[in-house]
Amino acid sequence: MSKRPFPWEDRPKDAVDPIWRYSLNPVMKRNPTSKLSQVYNSSLVPYEDGYIGIFRAEPRDLITKIFLGRSKDGLTFDLDEEPIHFVYEDGRMDDSQYQYDPRLIKIGDTYYIVYCDDFANLASISIGYTKDFKTFIKLAHPFPPDSRNGVLFPQKINGEYLMLYRIADSAAAGDIYLARSKDLRYWGEYSLLMKRTPYGWGKKKIGGGCTPILTKEGWLLIYHGVMDTCNGLIYSIGGAILDKDDPSIVKYRSKAYLLRPERSYETTGHVGNVCFPCSALVDEETGRLAIYYGASDDCICLGFSTIDILLDYIKNN
């Protein structure tokens, strides 16, 4: 038995969706400290005898930043007081004004942080890395301005790093693309991976979510989809399975969402009707999943499932 506690609750009998909510959600509520008004789309990985994470948080000026945080149990979190300060590889200080939607991925002995910041007055994917969580290095922007939702695969596949991303937010661009790189700096061979759904919960745009999880059926992808309604946008969670050796092949994709905003902490907040997944912990022994999602751009919530339940649901729906 690993001594690292895995956050978990059994599926309630009345659960209808393949992801069920932690009964004590949100795990991080709004106004968690006197300095921070909201902490939401955040990403955790196992570290030492607990977890470490990169958290999207807004101080009282509401300018989004990313913070380092630690957790012993995956349920309670201690965030640093200061946001992360990146330096470029040549020693220059990063002068970006805002950062958001971090995904933390360990590859070898390096922890990569894929997130968005400002570039030419537009949001853009950035890649930072650290080996010790003390010094944070940022690569020169690997993607052009107006790229979002970078999700890096946790290992090289056929000698290449793979990244999911979406171009901008304009009406013309809302699909997930796949990019390839040999060194994380120069990306190319872009290909369309998944289009928005023609109708329904992912009609307006879709984007990457959690780091893909390798399973017996291929890469399990937990992503987000957005629908526009008379009442504004609704962000739900969806699932797909990509081929293990060639993730540009979508083997299955669930037509039904896996979770949508329903509880008050998901429907009402800074931006209501948002469930935005950024990371999932996997318990290798049991296949249990603890999925962290930001709710209503105001708080962090936890959903549970298992690899088998999600694979079955995605294949059968």
Name the minimum Å distance from CB 169 to ligand BMA.
Answer: 6
Phi-psi sector, 296: left (phi>0), alpha (psi -120 to 50), beta: left
Name the minimum Å distance from CB 122 to ligand BMA.
Answer: 13
**At 266, phi and psi to the nearest 5?**
-100, -30
Tokens of 166: 């979406």
Please identify, using beta-carbon distances, which residue of 71 and 273 lies nearer to ligand BMA. 273
Please identify, using beta-carbon distances, which residue of 124 and 181 lies nearer to ligand BMA. 124
**Do residues 235 and 273 lie in contact, with contact meaning Cβ atoms separated by under 8 Å?**
yes
**Do residues 130 and 137 lie in contact, with contact meaning Cβ atoms separated by under 8 Å?**
yes
Q: Which residue lies nearest ligand BMA, judged by its C-beta? A: 271
Name the minimum Å distance from CB 133 to ligand BMA.
Answer: 23
Please identify, using beta-carbon distances, which residue of 21 and 224 lies nearer to ligand BMA. 224
Name the minimum Å distance from CB 302 to ligand BMA.
Answer: 16
Helix (H, G, I), strand (E, B) or coil at 193: strand
Please identify, using beta-carbon distances, which residue of 136 and 235 lies nearer to ligand BMA. 235
Name the minimum Å distance from CB 311 to ligand BMA.
Answer: 27
Please identify, using beta-carbon distances, which residue of 31 and 110 lies nearer to ligand BMA. 31
**Do residues 202 and 225 lie in contact, with contact meaning Cβ atoms separated by under 8 Å?**
yes
Determine how many CB atoms are found less than 10 A away from the CB of residue 251: 15
Please identify, using beta-carbon distances, which residue of 161 and 276 lies nearer to ligand BMA. 276
Helix (H, G, I), strand (E, B) or coil at 201: helix
CA distance 38 to 59: 7
Name the minimum Å distance from CB 90 to ligand BMA.
Answer: 29
Element (H, E) at 314: helix 307-316
Q: What is the DSSP letter of 49?
A: T
| Interface contacts to ligand BMA, rule CB under 6 A | 41, 100-101, 235, 271, 274, 276, 294, 297
Tokens of 131: 């080996």
